[in-house]
Chains A and B, each alone.
Chain A
Amino acid sequence: MFGDLADLYQEVILEHSQRPRHGKRLACFDASAKGDNPMCGDRVQVFVKHAPDGAIADVGFEARGCAISVASADLMAEVVRGRSAAEVKEIAGKFRALARTGHSGNPDDEALEALQPLAGVHSYPSRVKCATLAWHALLAALQGRKEASSE
């Protein structure tokens, strides 16, 4: 009945939205920021723990939102582990392109491969922000801000 919606709500997305692995506040964290989308009321808070070398050791989040925003936050938490702030920034940029256009420009990139299930949002313009919300919050946290600026 919902035909092509399987592109948007892929199994991976449903799985991550219903049973997020990182959907919790970290017991101790070094940085945290909130993001919210006043248009639809989605809210996310991201928590970051750094390793001694400054790379990301762990990311957790608390989210109230749709399946896309929760799954995206969960996939993000997985992908950014062990990466530096500079790398995260680069991935975030490519992910934004992926969400908006369906292409990331570099299909071999390992991080983006993991984010590929979210490519389907590009055909739902009103849902692109759901997918990018957690990334905005994460970037804000890495820059020492408490709140993501909306796009």
Chain B
Amino acid sequence: MNVMRLPKEPAAKTIADARADFPILGEKVHGVPLIYLDSAASAQKPRAVIAAMVETMERQYANVHRGLHWMSERATDAYEAARVAVARLLNAREPEEIVFVRNSTEAINLVAHSYGRGVLEPGQALLISEMEHHSNIVPWQLLRDERGTGLRVVPVTDAGELDLSAYERLLAAGPVGLVSITHMSNVLGTVTPAERIIRLAHEAGAKVLLDGSQAIVHRPVDVQALDVDFYAFTGHKLYGPTGIGVLWARRELLERMPPFLGGGEMISEVTFERSRWAPVPHKFEAGTPAIVEAIGLGAAIRYLEEIGYPAITAHEAALTEHALARLASVEGLRVLGQAQDRGGVVSFAFERIHAHDVATLLDRSGIAVRAGHHCAEPLMRRFGLDSTARASFALYTTSGEIDALADALAKVREFFH
């Protein structure tokens, strides 16, 4: 395949070098250096991603799959090379199992529409969990309201883990067509036991969708080893641009599912009587796709491959351990959840200081955290809170930044006393 060449970078980058690849991390806010602890909301972009997107627009841009001219062929090659990179990242059987969408939200809506309305049988229920992001709740509620599909919710334990015995009970409580569960909580950092979830679901005859929006940033994902049926993630959290996300699904499922959106690019023949769909994945990619963004995501994946997941996972595990220890010693601070298996996301709350006030104070020290319900209101309610502040870590986060956070939090408490 004629893949667009990207500026070559020296091989085997180390985590310590990586920070310098993110231009924005040199910025100041309110006159102090930026400490960006909001990567779970959206990650910053390495130069390699920015360069790939600029290079595309400056030198190799045209619409894809349409033109019979040189530029269109180059752009198509680069766009399809990004699909190959995603397939490699997920260890998919073939690139045709990769559907480009806008973000995780669209990926889940696609499944709710095309699988939920097209394949799910009457009487089959849906199973989600109490720790889902709204984007893995609302599409299923829409389906339930339209079709009367049953929607069961797996509770979360006090430790912030999925209640597996309740899960087994809910699976046994009547036919389940699809289990849609997060692979890692964006609030608690909990990594869910995907293999077990999937094995139990399959034994009960249900398919499984994993919302990998957070997990894939921190852990290697192998869809074949997991034996999962659908996997969704969003590019902007994985150091790629906004506007590009991925739905992976087994080919046989994609083939059985009717299209989501109709229009150009997704057909093989159109008459006013009827249309025939293009083969997968194009059947699900109606209209001009996010060409530049897909190429940017491809560059992000190649960048991650240079560093390698083992280094990323080890770095973030050390950061998380350090953060939990430092935050535990801040007086009056409550950290949510104590899951055994967790990634680099930590939510916390002071008894008497609202999360927004905490975030405003931290911001003045240059520290960016997220405050609010994190699009997971049911989970907040489960822990008896309206909002928390959340710090999240990325491959470029340093333990010095976590020390700065803990020190600033101690000062926040003094400020409000």
Return the CB mask of B389-417 against A: 1 if under 8 Å, else 0: 00000000000000000001001000110
Task: Decide yes or no: A40 and B387 within 8 Å by CB, A1-B411, A9-B415, A66-B356 being known contacts.
Answer: yes
The residue among A2, A3, A64, A68 with the most chain B CB atoms within 10 A of its own CB is A2
Q: How many angstroms from the CA of A12 to the CA of B360 in the assembled complex? A: 18
Q: How far is the CA of A67 from the CA of B415 in the complex (A)?
A: 12
* A103 contacts partner chain B, Cβ-Cβ < 8 Å: no
- B93 on the A face (CB < 8 A): no
A67 B365 Cβ-Cβ under 8 A: no
Residues of B contacting A41 in the complex (Cβ-Cβ under 8 angstroms): 372-373, 386-387
Docked Cα-Cα span, A1 to B411, in Å, equals 8
| A108 proximity list for chain B (CB < 8 A) | none
Chain B residues lying within 8 Å of A42, measured Cβ to Cβ, are 356
The verdict on B371 contacting chain A, using a C-beta distance below 8 Å, is yes
How many of chain B's residues touch chain A, expressed as a range? 10 to 19
- How many Å from the CB of B361 to the closest CB on chain A? 5
Interface digits, A54-68 against B, CB 8 Å rule (1 contact, 0 not)?
A: 000000000011111
Residue of A whose beta carbon sits closest to that of B361: A2
Choose one: A1, A3, A127, A130; the contact of B408 (CB below 8 Å). Answer: A1
Q: Which residues of A contact B386 (CB under 8 A)?
A: 41, 43, 64-65
B328 to chain A, nearest CB (A): 22
Known: A2-B361, A68-B356. 13 other contacts (CB 8 A): A3-B364, A5-B415, A9-B415, A14-B416, A41-B372, A41-B386, A41-B387, A42-B356, A64-B386, A65-B354, A66-B354, A66-B357, A127-B356
Taking beta carbons and an 8 Å cutoff, which residues of B are in contact with A? 352-357, 360-361, 364-365, 371-373, 386-387, 408, 411, 415-416
On A, residues with C-beta under 8 Å from B are 1-5, 8-9, 14, 18, 39-43, 64-68, 124, 127, 130
